[in-house]
Structure 1
Amino acid sequence: MAKKYAGNALKYVVKCGVFLSIIHLIIILYSILAHKTLSVSEIRHYGGYFNDFEPYVFVLIFFSTKFNIDISKNKRFLYLGIVAASIFCYLSRTNFIQLLILILAVKGYLKLNVRSIKVITFTFLATLIGYALIYNSNPKRKGSFTEEFLYKIKIIPIEAFKTKINQEDWKDFNDNFRSFENIKTVNQIFYEGPQAVISGNGLGSTVDIGRVMQTNDGTKVRYYPALHNAFSTVLLKSGLLGIVIYLLSIYFISRKTVSDNIQIINLNKLLLGSGIFLIMSSWVFMGFYLKLDSKSILIGLLLGYREYLKNQLVNAI
């Protein structure tokens, strides 16, 4: 796509993102009116749980001059409003963090220096204070729209990292199911011995959860071929060797291309942010391997577009 549309590649990404955002907002509005609900869980059930594509589109519009995207001022504000509203309506904590990481990346704050350390420290402290306020407000798991969302924020630090889960307590089990999957996977792999740990059990391998669970699409499954955590899934399929290769692939995506061209420099920053986000996304949402998401295609386009710009500069010499 980057080669076919050449210099307009990012502009087409923006147009696709705005169109998808409009469709999503229509679905959300219909769901609220048709089902008469403002429940966070029900809105996400009908409208979707996340969209890693739209935060990229928001960043491209917000920093349109940095990426040489030709867009009028009025359209820029309109598009920003539409995409921002759509991102918010997913009520996805991961997408909010993704947006923050990508913005910090394009602003150059992920490159370590005195200025970036100050900004990152301020952001961390502000986040910590905000979380403390939310935690002490003790939001309810099933309450108002705001309380449900704040409750999901409250459990962020533990839901994917908890090491002990009471399977008989439905609340503890449901809130920390990602951790439960990880525990089951690690226990199964290490029980099977050194070969499974080093090179995994192959693409067809599954994790026995120990009980039949109903998925979001209504199917009932006990043996899971893929988990929420990409690292656990890769460990299951390819062992520690696979995890090393996966981390190397993220590193190569994040590695910059040396150039004085402003677009390439900003694409380097965006791809660095993408690599950092992939580490986090791989822990909670399968990272590159989530087949429901177009993130891998978009990152591939960014890599291809950067290479195209680089070749254009070489040919111009």
Structure 2
Amino acid sequence: MTLTIKKIWPVLLVVSFVLHREVTSIEVNTILLLVLTSFVVLLNKGKMIKRDFDVLSLLLLIICIGSFTAIFNKPSAYNFIRDLLYFTKPVLLILLGYFLTRLINDWKVVFKALIYLGVGYAVYHILHFVIFTNFNHPHIISHIRGVNGLSNIIEVFSIALIVLGNKYKEYSIFSKKSTKYICLFLLFTSFTLYFSRTMFVGLVLLVLGVLNYLKLNKKGLKYLGLLLLAITILYTYLFTVKIDRKGDGIENFLYKLKIAPSEIFSPKIDLNNHASLWDHWRAYEALRGLQGLNESPVSYVGGKGFGALVDLKFAAPISSEGTIRYIPILHNGYIFILYKTGVIGLLIYLYFLFSLYFQAYRKTDRLDTKNFGNLLSATSLYLIFSSLIITGLYNLQEETAIILGIFLYLKSNSNRKN
């Protein structure tokens, strides 16, 4: 009976990821995951390792700031609740991953669940690509991404875990090399077919992070230097060749790579040039967020609060339901948090991310503590990067918060044993 119950928890972990990814209604999605999180927290009697509770309380503090400053801006109930949901849900997801991992109590089972879930999604994505892609479409890359999906961070973490197992044999979940290579082939094929810049950078950061190559020491600086050199060579090439914005296939992908930096930061944006505006949309959103704070400089302290909307100054065709002038969410997670919770909230968020990153610096003789710390640190590095372009921890379309909860428990539990 006990053995049967133990087998339920890995299944429930996989179900959690699937529910979060596949249930598109944010209301239904949140209710289901809230029930699931409440269930596993109660089973664990809400017991968290103190250090983990202290870390998680930083996110609760951000919620308190956004809720308090909303009082002064009097948002509509709907807008307030929506923001409250956006800032609360990552906390629920971290708790879900944390307590499910505690119930499973076996890191190998958790790794297997994550890797095979990624492989399952890879197989599905490849089949979907083969069946539903119109290979005669004039804008093939945009079409592929529109039909088959924009990204899947689970696959990236699956690859990173396999790489970790390749470096340390005791961390490999595969009994046969052929199985490992088949899984890697499927994952990399699916990864390539997403044509996602975020996934590409995320994979580089996660792999280097789990291999302990992104610490600011002699070895880390060496790999960081090589990474910067590779980026310099890439962009030197991109800016010395003519790449057509309306080009097909790989040319379109290279154009998006070329404009990636200016897509995030662009001091001059011409609203009358629609092509340029869409190419720099993230930068324009962020600019409008900062200009909105400038209207009342005191808002820089605690933000405009939950429910505050960013005025785009024109009705933009960015919704399937029509045009929108006032938006609640920004792609740039740092400006998003600054706008809602001010400098105080932003500093707390940065402290949260960097406190996780520095887990890799804790000295230990235990291999498990070291590797789990590297996983936690690598995940925080990914969030530091993704906060620039896809809202980071507060991107409710990604499963990173669940994964963060998993690694947080594994690291703290191994450290406690140590």
Which residue among 99, 122, 132 is the counterpart of 1:21? 122
Partners of 1:34 and 1:80 lie apart in 2 by 25
1:227 is aligned to 2:330: yes
The residue aligned with 1:298 is 403
SS in 1 for 2:397: coil
Q: Deviation at 1:6? A: 2.1
- Note the C-alpha offset of 1:306: 2.2
Partners of 1:216 and 1:58 in 2: CA distance:
34
* CA drift at 1:151: 0.4
8 A Cα contact 2:163 2:207, kept in partner: no
Q: Aligned letter for 1:3?
A: R
The answer on 1:155 being equivalent to 2:259 is yes
Q: Name the SS for the 2:414 alignment partner.
A: helix
Describe the SS at the equivalent of 1:209.
Answer: strand
The CA deviation string for residues 39-82 of structure 1, in whole angstroms up to 9 with x for no partner, is: 21121111222222221111101222537232121111111111
Residue 41 (1) aligns with residue 142 (2): yes
Matches within 5 A, 1:3-152: 3-7=102-106, 8-33=109-134, 36=137, 39-65=140-166, 66=168, 68-71=171-174, 72-152=176-256
| Worse overlay, 131-140 or 53-62 | 131-140
Identity %: 27
Check if 1:202 corresponds to 2:309.
Answer: no
**Residue 269 (structure 2) aligns with:** 165
Q: Which is further off, 165-174 or 45-54? A: 45-54
Cα distance between partner residues in 2 of 1:183 and 1:245: 22
Distance 2:162 2:319 in 1: 32
Matched positions, count:
312
Unaligned runs of 5+ in 2: 1-99
Which is further off, 232-241 or 130-139? 130-139
Q: Relative to structure 2, which stretch is displaced further, 26-35 or 84-93?
A: 26-35
Contact 1:6 1:308 in 2 (8 A): no
Instruction: List gaps (5 residues or longer) in structure 1.
Output: none
CA distance change for structure 1 residues 92 and 261 in 2, over 3 Å: closer, same or farther?
same
- The alignment yields a C-alpha RMSD, in angstroms, of 1.9
Partners of 1:217 and 1:42 in 2: how far apart? 17
Residue 259 of structure 1, CA deviation: 3.3
Q: Distance in 2 between matches of 1:58 and 1:218?
A: 37
Do 1:200 and 1:239's aligned partners in 2 also have CA atoms closer than 8 Å?
yes
User: How high is the TM-score relative to the length of structure 2?
Assistant: 0.71
Task: Report if aligned partners of 2:243, 2:254 keep a CA contact under 8 Å in 1.
Answer: yes
**Distance (Å, rounded) in 2 between the aligned partners of 1:34 and 1:92:** 19
